[in-house]
Structure 1
Amino acid sequence: MQLTTTWLAQLPLKSITTMQPVTGGDINAAFKLTSAGHDYFLKVQPQQTAAFFAHEVDGLTRLSHSVKVPKVIATGTINGDGYLLQAWSSLGTGQQFDLGQAVAQVHQQTASQFGLAHNFLLGKIPKYNQWQTSWSTFYTTQRLDVLVKLAIQQQHWSPQRESHYQHLRQIILADTHMQTVQPSLLHGDLWAGNVGFDAHGIPVLLDPDICYGDREFDLAMTTLFGGFTAKFYQGYQSVMPFTTGWQTRLPWYQLYYLLAHLNLFGATYGPAVDHILNQY
Structure 2
Amino acid sequence: MSRLNHQWISQLPIKKITNVKPVSGGDINEAYQITTPDKKYFMKVQPNKTAKYFGHEINGLKALGKAIRAPKPLYNGQINGDAYLVLNWIDAGYQGSQSELGQLVAKMHSQTNDKFGFVDNHETGALNKTNNWDDNWSRFYVEQRLEPEIEACEKLGRWNKWRQQHMDNMISAFRKYYQNHEVVPSLCHGDLWSGNYMFDTEGHPLLIDPDAVYGDREYDLAMTTIFGGFNDEFYQAYQQTFPFDDGLQDRLQWYRFFYLCLHLILFGETYGGSVDSILGGF
Q: Which residue does 2:245 correspond to in 1? A: 243
Q: 1 CA distance for matches of 2:224 and 2:26?
A: 18
Large movers: runs of 4+ above 6 Å: none
5+ long unaligned stretches in structure 1: none
Task: Tell me how large the CA RMSD over aligned residues is.
Answer: 1.4
* SS, match of residue 14 in structure 1: coil
Kindly state the Cα deviation for residue 124 of structure 1 after the two structures are TM-superposed. Answer: 3.2
Q: Which residue does 1:72 correspond to in 2? A: 73
Q: 2 CA distance for matches of 1:123 and 1:82?
A: 16
Q: Which residue does 1:153 correspond to in 2? A: 155
Q: Which residue does 2:257 correspond to in 1? A: 255
Q: 1 CA distance for matches of 2:268 and 2:254?
A: 20
Q: 1:101–1:177: structure 2 CA closer, same or farther, 3 Å change rule?
A: farther
Q: Which residue does 1:84 correspond to in 2? A: 85
Q: Which residue does 1:138 correspond to in 2? A: 140
* SS, match of residue 198 in structure 2: strand
User: Per-residue CA shift, 1:212-259, capped at 9, x if unaligned?
Assistant: 000000000000111000000011111111011110011110000011
Kindly state the Cα deviation for residue 185 of structure 1 after the two structures are TM-superposed. Answer: 0.4
Aligned AA (1:52): Y
- Which of 225, 228, 232 aligns to 2:227? It is 225
User: Per-residue CA shift, 1:53-108, capped at 9, x if unaligned?
Assistant: 11111111111122111122200011111110011111212110000000000001
Q: Which residue does 1:102 correspond to in 2? A: 104
After superposing the two structures, state which structure 1 stretch, 187-196 or 29-38, moved more: 29-38
Q: 2 CA distance for matches of 1:256 and 1:25?
A: 23
State the TM-score, normalized to the length of structure 2.
Answer: 0.95
Q: Which residue does 2:39 correspond to in 1? A: 38
Q: Are 1:14 and 1:36, in contact at CA under 8 Å, matched by a contact in 2?
A: no
* SS, match of residue 226 in structure 1: coil
Q: Which residue does 1:205 correspond to in 2? A: 207
User: Per-residue CA shift, 1:119-158, capped at 9, x if unaligned?
Assistant: 2225532111111111011111100111111011011111
Q: Are 1:107 and 1:185, in contact at CA under 8 Å, matched by a contact in 2?
A: yes
* SS, match of residue 175 in structure 1: helix
Kindly state the Cα deviation for residue 20 of structure 1 after the two structures are TM-superposed. Answer: 2.1
Aligned AA (2:84): Y
1:169 aligns with 2:155: no
Q: 1 CA distance for matches of 2:161 and 2:52?
A: 38
Q: Are 1:134 and 1:179, in contact at CA under 8 Å, matched by a contact in 2?
A: no
State the TM-score, normalized to the length of structure 1.
Answer: 0.96
Kindly state the Cα deviation for residue 16 of structure 1 after the two structures are TM-superposed. Answer: 2.7
Q: 2 CA distance for matches of 1:23 and 1:95?
A: 23
Q: 1 CA distance for matches of 2:206 and 2:123?
A: 26
Q: 1 CA distance for matches of 2:181 and 2:81?
A: 44
* SS, match of residue 92 in structure 2: coil
Q: Which residue does 1:5 correspond to in 2? A: 6
Q: 1:111–1:178: structure 2 CA closer, same or farther, 3 Å change rule?
A: farther
- How many residues were matched structurally? 280
* SS, match of residue 130 in structure 2: coil
1:26 aligns with 2:27: yes
Q: 2 CA distance for matches of 1:200 and 1:101?
A: 17
Q: 1 CA distance for matches of 2:139 and 2:265?
A: 22
Aligned AA (2:66): H
Q: Are 1:115 and 1:132, in contact at CA under 8 Å, matched by a contact in 2?
A: yes
Q: Are 1:108 and 1:185, in contact at CA under 8 Å, matched by a contact in 2?
A: yes
Q: 1 CA distance for matches of 2:180 and 2:261?
A: 20
Q: Percent identity?
A: 47
